[in-house]
Amino acid sequence: MSFSTPDPLRPLILDDVRGAQKMLSGVARMTAMEGSRHLTQLVGAPVHLKCENLQRTGSFKLRGAYVRIAGLRPEERAAGVVAASAGNHAQGVALASSLLGVRSTVFMPVGAPLPKVAATREYGAEVVLHGTVVDETLEAAEAYARETGAVFIHPFDHPDIIAGQGTVGLEILEQCPEVRTIVVGIGGGGLAAGIAVAVKAVRPDVKVIGVQAAASAAYPPSLAAGHPVAIDPAPTMADGIKVGRPGDVPFGLIQELVDEIRTVSEDELSSALLLCLERAKLVVEPAGASPVAALLSDPGAFRGPVVAVLSGGNVDPVLLQRILRHGMAAAGRYLSLRLRLPDRPGALAALLRSLSVVDANVLDVSHVRTDPRLGLTEVEVELHLETKGPEHCLEVGAALREEGYQVIS
């Protein structure tokens, strides 16, 4: 199978995805399907997690990259391939190229997380750090392709890529034949489009629901306009689905086959990531947790059995720490307070004793004496507390006020 010179008038069909599945035999893993008791109770129907975060390279991207590069003509392979990515696509292209004996160059932003840069190099690619945002990196990669003749491997806007990603849908039907709803994150749209092509051809009754980060949702305005619309995406922790414009090829398929697009907030994303870690024991990146965020935000809206696709697990440890704190705060399990105390010996110790009485765990304490807003005999204390939930947060605040403490925030 090859789409290296695709006919734009010929639609992607189930046979294309099945051909991609044969090509990926022995290359991509059939990733696990794990049940979630917590989400099942919440939704009121069986919920399963399709664990593409456990795929080789840590995401589904290997599937499409391998099919695309394997479909190149001999002269195209000889010229090498080039890609631009901040993470998952970079690693997928690097490993796929190595497995196929093709030289690869991957452009990554200067600020890309070091673990992702190191992994891309270890998979065999030459990494070039260029630009501070992905758009600049993309321009550099396209310029390199023009100058050298290397084939540019787009992360989502090519039939081969979509056919490869669609093999996730075939696996879902095999592993959960009773599925009625599939929930999947959407950036450019390659994964959702591929899953929809595969699933709707076999089970047109199954609903396919796409999820975008509300801060970076290009599909709702594009679908309203009837064509891809470029937006200026705002910052989001879900950088894996932060795309300013839908791809032309996946857009047409999503417009035709995907039943609904939902958006989720940053709080919902961080809460979903925390749930995956605590309840499912799975490390998932924010983009990969977006389907779980959709389930958490409106659990009654999904007809079960539901399969939520965890598309990736490549998250920088430093970012993970920040997200977990954000998720704990969103779940009411992390409380920040500022208080004013008299500047005398024992005042801080008395405050900490009051917190121990209400069973609040102190994570950090900051003591400020030099703020011009403070009186001569005052100090300001900033506290970061671990709590048991929203009700406990209210209990902590009420107890401190009852003790006579001035809680500023």
- Catalytic choice (50, 61, 207, 242): 61
Nearest-5° Cα angle at 309, 38 to 39: 10
Which is it for strands 33-35 and 260-264: parallel, antiparallel or unpaired? Answer: unpaired
Options 97, 271, 297, 311, the catalytic residue: 311
Residues 6+ apart with CB under 8 A from 254: 186, 189, 192, 193, 196, 210, 219, 223, 246, 261
Provide the sign of the torsion angle of the four alpha carbons 234, 236, 239, 240, taken in this order.
negative
Compute CA distances 196 → 8, 132, 208, 372, whole Å. Answer: 18, 34, 6, 60
Residues 192-220: b if buried by 16+ CB within 10 A, e if exposed: bbbbbbbbbbebeebbbbbbbbbbbbbbb
Active site residue 61: yes
Q: Is 22 a catalytic residue?
A: no
Active site residues: 61, 311
